[in-house]
C-alpha cells in the first residue's frame, strides 16, 4: 500500500466536542497517529450527546475514527508526567479546552514551543486567546448568533440556525489546514509556528459575502428561506408529483434559455421585470408565481429532463434518508465500513481524494481503550499500569 502523507506523524490532542476532534480526525485520515487524551470514566463529553449509533453518539462516531484513546487524569502528577512524555515525542499538540484551562496547566503555546521547538501547537478557542472576549465560552449556536449568520438564515418571518455545527466545522477545517501549513513550514525551516483558530473568526470568514454586501450595499441580504438571497431564480419549486426540484439560474444567458426551453415563454427573457438578475430579485414574488405555475403541471422527471436539456443546473430536494441512498455516493463507492465499540457503521471516505493514497479508516475507540498499550510503549510495567488504574490516573 502507498504510504499516507502523514505516516510517522504523532498528534496528541486534549479535545472534546466537535472542532478539535474534526481537525484531528482528518489528520488521522491522512495517516497520522492521533492519541486522544480523555478524562477517565466518561471521556469526551461528546460521547454522551446521544445514543443513536448502536448506543453511541452520532457526533462521536463521526469525529473519532482511527484514533487511540488514552484516559488520563491531568490534575494528578502522574497523569501530567505521562502527558509530558508523550509531548516530548509528538509532532503536533491540539487542544480546545475551556478558556484559559491550557495556560493554567502550563500548556500554553509559548510554554510548549519553548520546551519543544519542533512541536506544532494548535489552540482552538471560542473568541481568541486575547482580546475582550478571551474568557467567554463559545458554542456553535452562540457563534452563529454573534457573527450574524442567523440573521441572514431562515424566512422573512423567522431566523434559524444552520442545521449542522457550522462554526465548529469551520474552525476544525482551519485548524486542520493550519496544522498542515505549520508542518510544511517546519519541514522547510525547522521552525513550527503555533496555530490558533477561533470559532468566531472561522465563521466570520465564511460571512464574507453578506458582510461585503451589507457594508457596501447599504443593507443586509434579506432572509429568503430556501432561496438565494441575491440571485433569482434560485430555489425550490414543487412539481406535479409532489416532489420538489431546485432550480439555479446563474446568469442572463441561462435565464434566456430557461425562459425558452423550460418555461416555454421566450418573451419573459426580455420582460423589464426579469431582464437582469437584480430585477428578478426585486420582483421575486411575481417571478416565482410564473415558474411555480409552469413546474406544477410537470412531474419531477420531466422537469429535470427539460432543465438538463437547457443546461440549467438543478437538484432534487432530498431528505437525509434519501441522501444516504444517493446514487452518486453508491456509484463512486464512497461508503466504507468502520468498526465501533457498538458494532460496525458505514462511513464516508474523506472528500479529498489523493491519487494512489488509501485513507485510514480504522475503528472508533472506547474510552481508554489504548491506555495500557500507550503506557507500555512509554516504558511502564504491568504493575505500574495497574497501580495507575487503581489510583484513577487512567
State the cell numbers at 373.
498499550
State the cell numbers at 234.
434560485
Write down the pLDDT at residue 372. 96
Instruction: Please check whether the domain covering 234-316 is classified as CATH 3.30.1360.20.
Output: no
**What SS3 class is residue 35?**
strand
Q: What confidence tier does 82 reach under pLDDT thresholds 50, 70, 90?
A: very high
Instruction: Please check whether the domain covering 10-207+327-390 is classified as CATH 3.10.290.10.
Output: no
CA angle, 361 as apex, 323 and 193 as ends, to 5°?
Answer: 105
Q: What confidence tier does 87 reach under pLDDT thresholds 50, 70, 90?
A: very high
Buried-exposed string 318-331: b where 16+ CB fall within 10 A, e elsewhere: eeeeeeeeeeeeee
pLDDT digits 0-9 by tens, 346-381: 999 999 999 999 999 999 999 999 999 999 999 999
Length of the chain: 394
Catalytically active residues, by annotation: 228
Write down the pLDDT at residue 47. 96
Give yes or no for a contact between 152 and 225, defined as CB atoms under 8 angstroms apart.
no
Q: What is the sign of the dihedral through the CA atoms of 206, 210, 215 and 217?
A: positive
How many helices and strands, by DSSP H and E, does the chain display? 17, 11
Does the N-terminal peptide bond of residue 233 adopt cis geometry, omega within 30 degrees of 0? Answer: yes
As a whole number of angstroms, the distance between CA 198 and CA 93 comes to 16
As a whole number of angstroms, the distance between CA 161 and CA 148 comes to 10
What's the mean pLDDT when you consider all of the chain?
95
Give yes or no for a contact between 36 and 15, defined as CB atoms under 8 angstroms apart.
yes
Write down the pLDDT at residue 1. 60
In the chain, residues under CATH classification 3.40.50.10540 are 10-207+327-390
Residue 160 CB coordination number (10 Å): 12
Sequence-distant (6+) residues with CB within 8 A of 284 are 224, 227, 232
DSSP state of 381: -
Write down the pLDDT at residue 250. 92
Residue 224 has pLDDT above 90, yes or no: no
**Rounded mean pLDDT of 303-309?**
96
State the cell numbers at 114.
519553548
Q: How far is CA 151 from the centre of its chain?
A: 21
In the chain, residues under CATH classification 3.30.1540.10 are 234-316
Amino acid at each position: 500500500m502507498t504510504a499516507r502523507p502523514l505516516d510517522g506523524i504523532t498528534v496528541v490532542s486534549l479535545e472534546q466536542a466537535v472542532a478539535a476532534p474534526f481537525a484531528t480526525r482528518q489528520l488521522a485520515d491522512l495517516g497520522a497517529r492521533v492519541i486522544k487524551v480523555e478524562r477517565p470514566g466518561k471521556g469526551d463529553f461528546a460521547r454522551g450527546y446521544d445514543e443513536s449509533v448502536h448506543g453511541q453518539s452520532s457526533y462521536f462516531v463521526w469525529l473519532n475514527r482511527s484514533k487511540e484513546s488514552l484516559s488520563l487524569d491531568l490534575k494528578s502528577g502522574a497523569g501530567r508526567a505521562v502527558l509530558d512524555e508523550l509531548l516530548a515525542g509528538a509532532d503536533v499538540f491540539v487542544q480546545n479546552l475551556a478558556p484559559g484551562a491550557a495556560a493554567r496547566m502550563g500548556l500554553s503555546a509559548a510554554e510548549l514551543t519553548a520546551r519543544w521547538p519542533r512541536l506544532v501547537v494548535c489552540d482552538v478557542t471560542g473568541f481568541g486567546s486575547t482580546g475582550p472576549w478571551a474568557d467567554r465560552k463559545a458554542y456553535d449556536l452562540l457563534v452563529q448568533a454573534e457573527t450574524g449568520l442567523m440573521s441572514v438564515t431562515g424566512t422573512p418571518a423567522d431566523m434559524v440556525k444552520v442545521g449542522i455545527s457550522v462554526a465548529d466545522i469551520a474552525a476544525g477545517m482551519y485548524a486542520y489546514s493550519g496544522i498542515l501549513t505549520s508542518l510544511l513550514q517546519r519541514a522547510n525551516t525547522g521552525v513550527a509556528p503555533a496555530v490558533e483558530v477561533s470559532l468566531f473568526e472561522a465563521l466570520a470568514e465564511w460571512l464574507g459575502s453578506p458582510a461585503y454586501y451589507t457594508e457596501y450595499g447599504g443593507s443586509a441580504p434579506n432572509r429568503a428561506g430556501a432561496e438565494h438571497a441575491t440571485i433569482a431564480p434560485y430555489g425550490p419549486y414543487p412539481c406535479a408529483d409532489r416532489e420538489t426540484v431546485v432550480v439555479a439560474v446563474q446568469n442572463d444567458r441561462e435565464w434566456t434559455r430557461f425562459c425558452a426551453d423550460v418555461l416555454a415563454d421566450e418573451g419573459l427573457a426580455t420582460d423589464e421585470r426579469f431582464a437582469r438578475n437584480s430585477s428578478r430579485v426585486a420582483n421575486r414574488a411575481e417571478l416565482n408565481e410564473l415558474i411555480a405555475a409552469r413546474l406544477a403541471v410537470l412531474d419531477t422527471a420531466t422537469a429535470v429532463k427539460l432543465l438538463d436539456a437547457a443546461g440549467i443546473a438543478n437538484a432534487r430536494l432530498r431528505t437525509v434518508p434519501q441522501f444516504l441512498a444517493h446514487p452518486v455516493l453508491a456509484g463512486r463507492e464512497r461508503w466504507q465500513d468502520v468498526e465501533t465499540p457498538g458494532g460496525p457503521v458505514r462511513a464516508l471516505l474523506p472528500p479529498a481524494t489523493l491519487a494512489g493514497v488509501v485513507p485510514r479508516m480504522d475503528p472508533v475507540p472506547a474510552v481508554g481503550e489504548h491506555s495500557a498499550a500507550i503506557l507500555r510503549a512509554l516504558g511502564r510495567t504491568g504493575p505500574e499500569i495497574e497501580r495507575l488504574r487503581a489510583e484513577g490516573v487512567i
